Structure 1
Amino acid sequence: MPLLRAVPGAHGFLQRPVLRGIGGAGKRRFASSSRSPPASLKSGNIANSRPTEKNNSIAPFPTTRPSLPTVIGPTHTPLALQSRKASTIALDPKMYTTSFAFFEALWDAGVTHCFVNLGSDHPSMIEAMVKGAREKKGQFPRMITCPNEMVAMSMADGYARLTNKPQAVIVHVDVGTQGLGAAVHNSSTGRAAVLVFAGLSPITQEGELRGSRTEFIHWIQDVPDQKQIVAQYCRYSAELKTGVNVKQMVNRALQFAKSAPTGPVYLCGSREVMEQEIEPYSIKQDEWEPVELGGLPNSAVKKISEALAGAKSPLLITGYAGRNPEIPGKLVELANTVKGLRVLDTGGSDMCFPADHPAWLGLRYGNEEAIKAADAIVVLDCDVPWIPTQCKPREDAKIFHIDVDPLKQVMPLHYISAQARYRADALTSVDQLISELKSNESLKAKLVAEEDAKWEALQSSYKKRLDGIAETAKPLENGEFGTGYLCARLKELCPEDAIWAVEAVTNTLFVHDNAKPMMPGQWINCGGGGLGWSGGGALGIKLATDYEAQLKGQKAGKFVIHVVGDGSFLFSVPGSVYWIAKRYKIPILTIVLNNKGWNAPRRSLLLVHPDGLGANASNEEINIAFNPSPDYAGIAKAAAGGDLFAERVERTEDLDDVLKRAIEAVQGGQTAVLDCKVVNGC
Structure 2
Amino acid sequence: MEKEKDDAPAATQTVPVTEGAEAFVELLTANDVKYIFHNPGTDNMPVLEAVYRLKSRGRPTPELVLCLHESLAMSAAHGYFMLTEKPQVVMVHVDGGTQQVGAALHNAQRGMAGMLFCAGRTPWTFEGEKRGGTDILIQFRQEQMDQAGIVRGFVKWDYELRCNDNIHNVIQRAFQIANTEPHGPVYLILPRELLMEEMKSVKLLPREKYGPPVGPAADVSAISQAARLLVDAQNPLAITHYLGRHHQTVAPLVELAETLGMRVVSQGMRMNFPTNHPLFAGESAEPFLKDADVILIIDKQVPYVPANFQPSPQTKIIYIDIDPVKTSYPSWNFPADIRIQADSGLAVPALGRAVRELLTPTNEKYCRERSQRHQEEHQAKRAEWKASARAKAKQRPISAEWLAYCVAQAIDDHDIVVNEVLSNRTDVAHHLQRTQPGTLFRAGGSGLGWGLGFALGAKLAAPEKTVVCLTTDGSFIFGQPIPALWAANNHNAPFLTVIFNNQEYNAVKRAMIRAYGEESCTAKVGNWQGVEFAPPDFAQIARACSVWGELVEDPEALPDAIAQGLERVRGGQSALLDVRMEKP
Q: TM-score, normalised by structure 1?
A: 0.81
Tell me the SS of whatever aligns to 1:360.
coil
Q: Give the structure 1 partner of residue 329 of structure 2.
A: 411
**Partners of 1:169 and 1:620 in 2: CA distance:** 42
Query: What is the aligned counterpart of 2:576 among 669, 673, 681?
Result: 673
Q: Does 1:231 align with 2:137?
A: no
The partner residue of 2:28 within 86, 103, 106 is 106
Q: Does 1:616 align with 2:523?
A: yes
Query: Could you tell me whether the CA contact under 8 Å between 2:266 and 2:283 is conserved in 1?
Result: yes
Match of 2:162 in 1: 241
Report how far residue 618 of structure 1 moved: 6.4
Bigger RCO of structures 1 and 2 (CA < 8 A, at least 6 apart): 2
C-alpha displacement at 1:667, in angstroms?
A: 1.3
CA contact (8 A) 1:578 1:637 kept: no
What amino acid is aligned across from residue 273 of structure 2 in structure 1? F
Partner residue of 1:630 out of 532, 536, 545: 536
Aligned to 1:179: 100
Q: Could you say if the C-alpha distance between residues 615 and 374 of structure 1 is closer, same or farther in structure 2, counting changes exceeding 3 Å?
A: farther
Aligned counterparts of 2:522 and 2:45: Cα–Cα separation in 1: 55
| Deviation digits for residues 152-198 of structure 1 (CA, Å, limit 9, x no counterpart) | 11111001011111111110000000011111000000111111111
- Equivalent-residue separation in structure 2 for 1:515 and 1:313 (angstroms): 26
1:288 aligns with 2:205: no
Check conservation: 2:548, 2:575, Cα contact below 8 A. Answer: yes
1:177/1:304 CA distance change after superposition, 3 Å:
same
Partner of 2:351: 433
**Conserved? CA contact 2:550–2:578, under 8 Å:** yes
CA distance in 1, matches of 2:152, 2:524: 41
Q: Distance in 1 between matches of 2:120 and 2:412?
A: 43
C-alpha contact 1:243 1:277 (8 A) present in aligned 2: no
Q: Is the 8 A contact 2:542 2:548 kept in 1?
A: no
Is this contact kept in 2: 1:145–1:580, CA < 8 A?
A: yes
1:450 and 2:366 correspond? yes
The CA deviation at 1:608 is 2.4
What SS does the aligned partner of 2:131 have? Answer: coil
Aligned amino acid, residue 313 of structure 2: E
Tell me how far apart the structure 1 counterparts of residues 45 and 162 of structure 2 sit (CA, whole Å).
Answer: 17
Displacement of 1:103 in angstroms is: 1.5
* Corresponding residue number in structure 2 for 1:373: 291
The amino acid that maps onto 1:107 is: T
Shift of 1:612: 4.5
Is 1:97 equivalent to 2:19 in the alignment?
yes
Do the aligned partners of 1:599 and 1:624 also contact (CA within 8 Å) in 2? yes
Counterpart CA distance in 2 for 1:392 and 1:575 is 43
Q: 1:498 and 2:415 equivalent?
A: yes
Which residue number in structure 1 is paired with residue 567 of structure 2? 664
Aligned position for 1:577: 484
Offset of residue 427 of structure 1: 1.2
Offset at residue 558 of structure 1 (A): 0.9
> Are 1:651 and 2:554 counterparts?
yes
For residues 291 and 607 of structure 1, the distance between their equivalents in structure 2, rounded to whole angstroms, comes to 46
Match of 1:360 in 2: 280
Cα deviation per residue 1:413-465 (whole Å; 9 max; x = unaligned)? Answer: 0011211222110111101111112234xx34453142332121121121122
Q: Structure 2 matches for 1:264-275, cutoff 5 A?
A: 264-275=185-196
Amino acid across the alignment from 2:408: K
Aligned to 1:552: none
Aligned pair partner of 1:262 in 179, 183, 193: 183
Equivalent residue in structure 2 for 1:327, among 235, 241, 249: 249
- The answer to whether the 8 A contact 1:309-1:446 is kept is no
C-alpha RMSD of the superposition: 1.8
| Aligned partner letter, 1:156 | A
Partner AA of 1:469 in structure 2: W
Question: How much has 1:476 moved relative to structure 2?
Answer: 5.8
Cα displacement (A) at 1:293: 2.2
Partner of 2:227: 305
Secondary structure class of the residue paired with 1:361: coil
SS in structure 1 opposite 2:488?
helix
- Give the secondary structure class of the aligned counterpart of 1:362: coil
1:593 matches 2:500: yes
Moved more, 142-151 or 416-425: 416-425
Any conservation in 1 of the 2:419–2:471 contact (CA below 8 Å)? yes
Structure with the greater alpha carbon radius of gyration:
1
The answer (yes or no) to whether the contact 2:80–2:460 under 8 Å persists in 1 is yes
Amino acid at match of 1:662: G
Letter in 2 for 1:359: L
Count, aligned residues: 568
Does residue 210 in structure 1 map to residue 147 in structure 2?
A: no
Instruction: Please name the residue that 1:131 is paired with.
Output: 53
Q: Per the alignment, in what secondary structure is the counterpart of residue 586 of structure 1? A: coil
Q: CA deviation at 1:466?
A: 1.0
Mark the runs of 5 or more structure 2 residues left unpaired by the alignment: 1-15
Mapped partners of 1:446, 1:141: distance in 2? 59
Cα 1:136–1:244 change in 2 (3 A) is: farther
Structure 1: distance between partners of 2:178 and 2:128: 36
Q: Quote the sequence identity (%).
A: 33
What pairs up with 1:462-473 in 2 under 5 angstroms? Answer: 462-473=378-389
SS in 2 for 1:399: strand
SS at match of 2:424: helix
Residue from 439, 450, 458 that aligns with 1:541: 458
| 1:616 Cα deviation after fit | 2.2
Distance 1:576 1:253 in 2: 28
How high is the TM-score relative to the length of structure 2? 0.94
User: For 1:535 and 1:656, how far apart are their aligned partners in 2?
Assistant: 22
Which whole-Å CA distance do the structure 1 matches of 2:194 and 2:360 have between them?
64
Confirm whether residue 387 of structure 1 aligns to residue 305 of structure 2.
Answer: yes
1:620 offset after TM fit, Å? Answer: 4.3
Summarize the Cα distance change of 1:359–1:230 in structure 2 as closer, same or farther, 3 Å threshold: same
In structure 2, what is the Cα distance between the partners aligned to 1:435 and 1:201? Answer: 57
The 8 Å contact of residues 522 and 528 in structure 2, kept in 1 or not, is answered as no
On the 8 A contact 1:479/1:653 being kept in 2, the answer is: no
